[in-house]
Structure 1
Amino acid sequence: MQDVEAVVLVGGKGTRLRPLTLSAPKPMLPTAGVPFLAHLLSRIRAAGVGRVVLGTSYLAETFSAHFGDGAALGLEIEYVVENHPLGTGGGIRNVAKYLTTDNVLVFNGDVLCGTDLGAVVDTHRRTDADVTLHLVRVQDPRAYGCVPTDESGSVLEFLEKTEDPPTDQINAGCYVFRRSVIESIPEGRPVSVERETFPELLLAGAQVSGHVDNAYWRDMGTPADLIHGSADLVRGVAPSAALPGPTGESLVLEGAEIADGALVFGGTTVGRGVRIGAGARVEGAMLFDGAVVGEGAVVEHSVIGAGARVEEGALVNDTVVGDRAVVGAYCELRRGMRVWPDVVLPPHGLRFSPDV
């Protein structure tokens, strides 16, 4: 698809995980061993797209320092910075003068998705659309706005969250735009594509098409989503060409040490220099570089920050432990707990189970 280029909107302050672990924006958080954004860029390249315009307004230098000109990924990457936040539509309009193709793939940079990008573009061309939206079917659409389509796949309307949605189709955050439509978005002010651009196109009689499928999809807006998305990447449930190792029950990076008798599974990422003690059990977790899990400790569906320690016999479930924090021996953390960086919980200092 050399006649199509991509725009990726990234860099919002994003996930509630960020202050507890790293100072980088969410798209750069280590996810299955590499920055989250690397997974999307790898899929863009695998689809045959060679040029990406990265639009950001927050810590833009973080992206350019890591990805450079994109050559290492087989891409040409150009960076465009917003002087102030412009929303989805405004962010897309802000990159218009850097575009060179008539049709443009546009992505929200905080979504993990497995759709066939070539098929989305084919739908756009087949229907001669002004804009095509990737719509994914979800089990419970009540948590999202929904997008009904007719028999031909044309979008009928954009509906807000409701307890009785008429369809299970939701906006998956991937679009194909005609460049002329991008150039028609108001310039220099915040614009929402969902609330302004798309509804106005329908009112004007434009062809807005939907490409509907059941592809893997996860909005990575919460720590729980990030943890589960990372595990899905490690296990191969979510596709990526950027995974730094084979898919399986765990991804173990260079310099990590796992003692005999430790169980590490469920799509766990074991970062560089991590140490896991004998008898420990780690399931579906993200262990950032230099973290330590002591003998007999249990870590389930949690993030253990860089240099943090979970000491002997402790239990950490559905919890984020910040960088360099210490969870003392035989502590028990559950139910969305957050331990801030550098905090030290003493042995037996906290538990959630009742005494027996």
Structure 2
Amino acid sequence: MKALVLAGGSGSRLRPITYSFAKQLVPVANKPVLFYGLEAIADAGIREVGVVVGDTEAEIRAAVGDGSRFGLEVTYLRQDAPRGLAHAVLIAREFLGDDDFVMYLGDNFIVGGITELVDRFRRERPDAQIMLAKVSDPRAFGVAELDADGRVVALEEKPEHPKSDLALVGVYLFSPVVHEVVARLTPSRRGELEITDTIQGLIDRGRRVESTMVSGYWKDTGNVADMLEVNRLVLEGVEPSVAGEVDASSELIGRVVVEEGARVTGSRVVGPAVIGPGAVVRDSYIGPFTSIDRDCSVVDSEIEYSIVLRGASIDGVGRIECSLIGRQARVTPAPPVPRAHRLVLGDHSKVQISK
């Protein structure tokens, strides 16, 4: 079995972070979300991985390399534009050959990995196996409809009027028969080759499609709120360790990781939290569920439930919460000017301003 990992896409929901940064490389607990997927693939016993890349190819290549750090052999497959998940299968035809494969969306996060799913596929040998999860707003996902016996009977991509609340999780397993369907697909109303149309094509041909409900935690880390939630979840599992420097006037409470080369002085850090290599925390408060990446600086400030990316600095800021701060960003106090409201109001407007 091989794996096909999708690491292209524009990451529009994470802008402005993703204007200059691959969304799959945004860190969760100081590790790119893409790496969790690659580790899950390796843990499932898969070694050959095709990584589909787009405009951020150089960054993905630099981060993943040849895959050996994960125990994988990586082949890069260039997609000229985001043309749908099934288009990724189409361009990977030569790489995949006649092998079974798992397709993994590189910005998805699944607790517990995929080993059990892969083992089941190998054992039961369906033509396709999908994972489903109940969501509050299925309009943002591919949606599956099941019959009374729990069999998949229909799928639709981002429907305006969903027929169920069962969203397709970003992990799919296929036998080589899927290539017959993909080769005959036409673009959807969105102008893409949809994986939902692919699976529907298998069903229409009488092929066996199995589904599994996600038993653990799953998130599509496509927006800031979801990134922060996944960061919180991962940090819940960290074990405290101090490889960096923490002076006597500082206090570490709970599950706090201070990585090698980091320095904490005159500060209070309440875990779970991670302070990355080369980071400096001085005269500050770092609250729970916060990841400070390598070479960051937090001085005379307070921050919690946030992700701070490599090289960013926060200086003299009273309080930051629920934030994603990009690489090399600078956060400082506003100049002391009189407070005032600036308004441009249309006719018949009504505005309420607190004193």
| TM, length-normalised to structure 1 | 0.78
Aligned to 2:343: none
Amino acid at match of 2:210: S
Aligned to 1:211: 212
Offset of 1:7 from its aligned partner? 0.7
**2:265 aligned with 1:259:** yes
Amino acid at match of 1:193: I
Aligned partners of 1:299 and 1:58: how far apart in 2? 33
Structure 1 unaligned runs (5+)? Answer: 238-243, 330-344
Cα gap change, 1:31 to 1:145, in 2 (>3 Å): same
Q: Greater shift after overlay, 124-133 or 82-91? A: 124-133
Cα gap change, 1:305 to 1:47, in 2 (>3 Å): closer
Q: Decide which structure has the larger Cα Rg and report it.
A: 2
**2:303 aligned with 1:299:** yes
Aligned to 2:73: 76
What are the Cα deviations for residues 258-300 of structure 1, in whole angstroms up to 9, with x where unaligned?
Answer: 224412324x3322222222351333223233322223x2212
Give SS of 2:55's match.
Answer: coil
Aligned partners of 2:106 and 2:194: how far apart in 1? 16
C-alpha contact 1:89 1:193 (8 A) present in aligned 2: yes
**2:173 aligned with 1:184:** no
Aligned partners of 1:305 and 1:350: how far apart in 2? 31
Aligned to 1:63: 60
C-alpha contact 2:181 2:198 (8 A) present in aligned 1: no
Q: How does 1:114-193 map to 2 (within 5 A)?
A: 114-125=111-122, 127-138=124-135, 144-150=141-147, 153-159=150-156, 167-186=164-183, 190-193=192-195
Offset of 1:35 from its aligned partner? 2.4
Cα gap change, 1:320 to 1:37, in 2 (>3 Å): closer
Offset of 1:153 from its aligned partner? 4.5
**2:280 aligned with 1:275:** yes
Aligned to 1:286: 291
Aligned partners of 2:16 and 2:97: how far apart in 1? 37
Aligned to 1:340: none
Amino acid at match of 1:33: N
Q: 2:106 aligns with which of 109, 112, 131?
A: 109
Cα gap change, 1:115 to 1:146, in 2 (>3 Å): farther
Aligned partners of 1:95 and 1:15: how far apart in 2? 24
| TM, length-normalised to structure 2 | 0.78
Structure 1 vs Structure 2 CA RMSD = 3.4
Q: Greater shift after overlay, 15-24 or 57-66? A: 15-24
Cα gap change, 1:66 to 1:204, in 2 (>3 Å): same
Cα gap change, 1:11 to 1:350, in 2 (>3 Å): farther
Cα gap change, 1:254 to 1:19, in 2 (>3 Å): farther
Offset of 1:141 from its aligned partner? 5.2
Aligned partners of 2:14 and 2:298: how far apart in 1? 20
Amino acid at match of 1:303: I
Aligned to 1:199: 200
Q: Greater shift after overlay, 42-51 or 135-144? A: 135-144
Give SS of 2:103's match.
Answer: strand
Q: Greater shift after overlay, 253-262 or 205-214? A: 253-262
Offset of 1:10 from its aligned partner? 0.9
Cα gap change, 1:317 to 1:180, in 2 (>3 Å): same
What are the Cα deviations for residues 31-86 of structure 1, in whole angstroms up to 9, with x where unaligned?
Answer: 32232211111111111111111112222232223322222221111111123332
Aligned to 2:43: 46
Aligned to 2:330: 326
Cα gap change, 1:310 to 1:173, in 2 (>3 Å): same
Cα gap change, 1:327 to 1:143, in 2 (>3 Å): same
Cα gap change, 1:311 to 1:96, in 2 (>3 Å): same
Aligned to 2:83: 86
Amino acid at match of 1:34: K
Structure 2 unaligned runs (5+)? Answer: 244-253, 341-352
Query: Percent identical across equivalent pairs?
Result: 28
Aligned to 2:316: 312
What are the Cα deviations for residues 194-225 of structure 1, in whole angstroms up to 9, with x where unaligned?
Answer: 2x212222222222110223221011001221
What are the Cα deviations for residues 284-340 of structure 1, in whole angstroms up to 9, with x where unaligned?
Answer: 223233322223x221222334433323351112233344443334xxxxxxxxxxx
Aligned partners of 2:311 and 2:67: how far apart in 1? 30
Aligned partners of 2:296 and 2:354: how far apart in 1? 30
Give SS of 1:129's match.
Answer: coil
